Amino acid sequence: MGNIVVSPHDKEGQHHMMATPTSNNPNGGSAATAKNKSEITVLLLGAGESGKSTLFKQVQFFHGVGITHDQERIELIEIVRLNVLENAKNLVAATQHLNIPIEQPENRETAKLIINSLNTNDLEDPSWSKRLYSLWKDAGIQKAYENREKFQLYDSTEYLFENLDRICSDKYVPTVVDVIRTRTKTIGITDMKFDVGDGKQLRLVDVGGQRNERRKWIHFFNTVDAVVFLTSLSEFDLNLYEDNGYWRVKESLRVFNEVVNNALFYKVPFVLLFNKRDLFEKKIATKSFSKYFSGFNEAEEKNPVACIEYMTKLFLNEITEHPLDTVSVKTLSAIDHDNSKQVFEEVKQFIMTQQHRE
């Protein structure tokens, strides 16, 4: 994936550099002292469902932690199946909400059972694979799925329904990809540590992204050595999980503004990751991007590079306090193992280089 380098001579950047405060930074020494620290704390921040935990899981996986062993993934069977049920319930509820009938009578029966009594244990029975897949392929459900911006649905819905034959089996053991693609809302704050050479450890902190979760972020602000801020490219047509009337992009920009301009992060290396590039490219092929951004040239709306450049400018415009030469912008598809590995390596190098510069 292409990286966008923000140089201090960038037009947008110059404006912001002029506005950089120098005297009233209460904790400006944070990054300077980090050079000598044996532990580098990196915060993964961003609004809800921006992909922080997916990247976190990928990093765990690179380092042989957590989901590498079958035994550990077996514990996640229930969560994968709960994801399937949750998606199925949301889709069925959406057909009612959007007034789209489920066409086939047998699928209507299945929908009734899903809402009323189906549980994860039932999914051990392979017959549910066929029933759920038939429901998924029902024209009514597909129509609701096409309108998924109107309700809350996990990104992994299609993936899970396409893998029902594996998931609905008593011998099912989740694969690494299943686990990566399973949505679990992070609540609170969690972290992991791994060696990065030179006797140093990198402590990666993952957080919940919803509004109430952000109140908890402050607990780590004093000790942070770098921030990786994630935002989802594919959320341009979606509203918030915790506030249905609020546009996700607006929320992401607001959170980004608050974080990047926070005085505590003044000298802290800052990485902006535009995540879900894969989903975004699929989405703009069928949906209008310019409909949501009045300043964007409609003729370019099927061009992902142009769209991402536009989004980049939107976000960089929010930077009023932070020096731009300590900001890096990259795109990411966190569900892609190789891409995550490559991007995270670059992020790590950027952070280490910034620290050496200090």
Partner 1 sequence: MTQTSPKGASSPSLLFITKPSSPTKQRSFDTRNFSKPNNILNEYKFQLPLGELQTIILSNFLKDVSHSFTLPFDDFLDRGFQDSFVQLFHEFLELEQNVMTLKFIFKLDEFKLLKSAKNRFKLGHELVDIYVKDCSANQLNLPNHVKENFMKEFAKCSIKETPVTIFDPIFSHIHYSLGTDNYMRFVGSDLYAKFVLDQSAMEFRKVSKISINQVCDFLERFYIQMGCRKMSDNLSLSDKLVQAIQDRESNQVSNESFEIEGAKVCSSPKSSRAFSPNSEDTESYPYDGDSDFKSSLHVMPSSSKVFEVLESVMLDGSGIVQDKHYTLFKMLHQDEGIWHQSGVNGETTSYYTELNLKHYNSDSKRKLKKEKFKIFKETGIVKASTDEVIRIMFDSYFSKEAVEETSHIDYVQGDIYSCIISQLCVKKNFPLTSRYFHVGLSARDETLHEWHIGKENKNQETFSSICNSKQSSYWIARLPIHNSKFQPPKGHTKGSLFGGSYIERISNTECRYSMMIYFDMNSFLPLTMWKSNKNSKSDLISNFNELVRERREQSTDSIDSQTINTIIDYRKNIGNLYGFTLN
Q: How far apart are CB 178 and partner 1 at their closest, in Å?
A: 14
Binding segment for partner 1 (CB under 8 A), chosen from 113-121, 133-141, 278-286, 330-338, is: 113-121
Binding segment for partner 1 (CB under 8 A), chosen from 54-62, 236-244, 281-289, 295-303, is: 236-244
- In the block, tokens 């030179």 appear at 198
Query: What residues are paired with 206 via a beta bridge?
Result: 44, 190
- Label residues 298-333 b or e (16+ Cβ within 10 Å = b): eeebeebebbbebbbebbbebbebbbbbbbbbbbbb
Long-range contacts of 183-190 (CB under 8 A, 24+ apart): 183/49, 183/83, 183/154, 183/155, 183/156, 184/53, 184/79, 185/48, 185/210, 186/52, 186/53, 186/213, 187/213, 188/213, 188/216, 189/216, 189/217, 189/219, 189/220, 190/56
Residue ranges for the binding site for GTP? Answer: 49-54, 155-156, 206-210, 275-278, 334
Q: Please give the size of the binding site for partner 1, defined by CB under 8 A.
A: 35
Contact 207, 218 (CB under 8 A): no
Considering only residues 148 through 207, tell me which ones interact with partner 1, judged by CB under 8 A.
152, 184-190
Does the annotation mark 183 as catalytic? yes
Does the annotation mark 49 as catalytic? yes
- The verdict on 222 binding partner 1 (CB under 8 A) reads no
Q: How far apart are CB 298 and partner 1 at their closest, in Å?
A: 31
Rounded to whole angstroms, how far apart are CA atoms 248 and 252? 6
- The verdict on 250 binding partner 1 (CB under 8 A) reads no
Does the annotation mark 158 as catalytic? no
- By beta-carbon proximity to partner 1, the closer residue of 230 and 319 is 230
Rounded to whole angstroms, how far apart are CA atoms 50 and 28? 28
Rounded to whole angstroms, how far apart are CA atoms 349 and 196? 10
Q: How far apart are CB 12 and partner 1 at their closest, in Å?
A: 34
- The verdict on 116 binding partner 1 (CB under 8 A) reads yes
Among 32, 74, 139, 305, contact with partner 1 (rule: CB under 8 A): 74
Catalytic, out of 178, 206, 237, 358: 206
Question: C-alpha angle with apex 215: 45 to 329, nearest 5 degrees?
Answer: 20
Catalytic, out of 183, 214, 225, 354: 183
Joined together, the tokens standing for residue 85 give 């049920």
- By beta-carbon proximity to partner 1, the closer residue of 122 and 309 is 122
Give the CA radius of gyration of the chain: 22
Among 155, 213, 251, 278, contact with partner 1 (rule: CB under 8 A): 213
- By beta-carbon proximity to partner 1, the closer residue of 193 and 200 is 193
- By beta-carbon proximity to partner 1, the closer residue of 29 and 188 is 188
**N- to C-terminal Cα distance for the chain?**
28
- By beta-carbon proximity to partner 1, the closer residue of 81 and 322 is 81
Residues ≥6 apart with Cβ < 8 Å to 262: 221, 321
Query: What residues are paired with 23 via a beta bridge?
Result: none
- By beta-carbon proximity to partner 1, the closer residue of 19 and 173 is 173
Catalytic, out of 152, 175, 210, 312: 210
Q: How far apart are CB 153 and partner 1 at their closest, in Å?
A: 12
Considering only residues 320 through 349, tell me which ones interact with partner 1, judged by CB under 8 A.
none
State the residues that interact with partner 1 by CB under 8 A. 66, 69, 71-72, 74-76, 78-79, 82, 115-117, 119, 152, 184-190, 208, 210-213, 215-216, 219, 240-244
